Amino acid sequence: MVKKGFELLQDAFENKGTAFTWEERKSLELEGLLPPRVETLESQCARVYGQIQGKTSPIEKRHCLTRVFDSNRTLFYKVFQEHIAELMPIVYDPVIAESIEGFSEEYRGPQDAVFLSIDRMDEIETALKNGAAGRKIQLIVVTDAEEILGIGDWGTNGVDIAVGKLMVYTAAAGIDPATVLPVVLDAGTNRESLLADPLYLGNHHKRAEGEPYMAFVDAFVQAAESLFPGLYLHFEDFGRSNAAVILKKYQKQFPVFNDDIQGTGIISLAGDPRRHEDQRRKADGPALHVLWRRNRRGRHHRPHLQGNGGRRPVRRRSPEPLLHGGPPGPAL
């Protein structure tokens, strides 16, 4: 069913804003819902970039960008890609930390993310369906936000780290934003300031541990893999002990990548890999050791990441793969 009128303007994936032509405005029941001038994407981009330059602080610039993200995904990525070196620190690290810390107090909307609660596990499948909204999801970045680099445990506020990571994937690697889904697993938080904050939007209880926590993660993984065949799962900013357990549990079942183990682990042991073989085994377990051995022999797993417009698969110069583990999924 073709969306029309206000419903179309509220769909960030389909909305073109003032770039709708007069023919489109007539066929899509947009007459009178937009200012008269028909703009190009380039002129829209210039306006947004001017608005960003007029902001006095990095966090205000990020808020300006996220408003565009929420209303017009094409325009957001046009601006981001045109000025990627300048805007990367605004969209992601380090400004994203300030965004995470103020997420509940400054709540601006869900940003097409899915919020899953350990207290409502019976809703996981329904929530994922609602988040996908009929889209074919091929990549999920999921976090429980226990150890966000540099700022620690931020519970549901940490959803921004999953949203931001996917923004970077699309802008830098060309992944179709309509095929991705950010997810936060709210298992509670151990940050006392959040638990005492009446405006905090997450669960107001301590983090679940052990079997209840793993049952929550497993319920999510099983539901996601069932709903979205061939899915890649990227686990982001989990506590290191949980990250290792999760990677070991799923790496032979599904295509998964854990940034806390396979990404950070590799980067932190940069240098001559032969010199660090023992440290790699001890620090990261057999999963990362197998990953490194595959890299060393040149047989590492590289998914074909393909975005809008039939772009060629991305070719990466670095030896480490972006995604690893499990049977190969379809091209993204």
Q: Active-site residue 92, yes or no?
A: yes
Given 49, 77, 92, 200, the catalytic residue: 92
Judged against a pLDDT cut of 90, whether residue 185 lies above it is answered with: yes
pLDDT of residue 72: 97
Which band of pLDDT confidence, cut at 50, 70 and 90, is reported for residue 264?
low
Rounded to 10 deg, the angle between the 84-91 and 73-82 helix axes is 120
pLDDT tens-digit map of 140-171? 999 999 999 789 999 999 999 999 999 999 99
Which band of pLDDT confidence, cut at 50, 70 and 90, is reported for residue 326?
very low
pLDDT of residue 52: 97
- Torsion sign, CA atoms 126, 130, 134, 140: negative
pLDDT of residue 279: 35
Residue 235 φ/ψ region, left for φ over 0, alpha for ψ in the -120 to 50 degree band, beta for the rest: beta
Mean pLDDT over each residue of the chain, to the nearest integer: 82
| Inter-residue contact 114 to 127 (CB < 8 Å) | yes
pLDDT tens-digit map of 12-36? 999 999 999 999 999 999 999 999 9
| Inter-residue contact 97 to 150 (CB < 8 Å) | yes
Q: Active-site residue 165, yes or no?
A: yes
pLDDT tens-digit map of 56-83? 999 999 999 999 999 999 999 999 999 9
Judged against a pLDDT cut of 60, whether residue 272 lies above it is answered with: no
The whole model's pTM is what?
A: 0.79
Judged against a pLDDT cut of 70, whether residue 287 lies above it is answered with: no
Residue 235's closest CA among 142, 146, 303, 323?
Answer: 142
Judged against a pLDDT cut of 50, whether residue 286 lies above it is answered with: no
Residue 298 burial (C-beta neighbours within 10 Å; 0-12, 13-18, 19+):
exposed
Q: What is the mean pLDDT of residues 260-270?
A: 51
pLDDT of residue 143: 97
Judged against a pLDDT cut of 80, whether residue 292 lies above it is answered with: no
| Inter-residue contact 289 to 256 (CB < 8 Å) | no
Given 78, 165, 200, 250, the catalytic residue: 165
pLDDT of residue 277: 40
Least confident interval from 52-56, 207-211, 312-316: 312-316
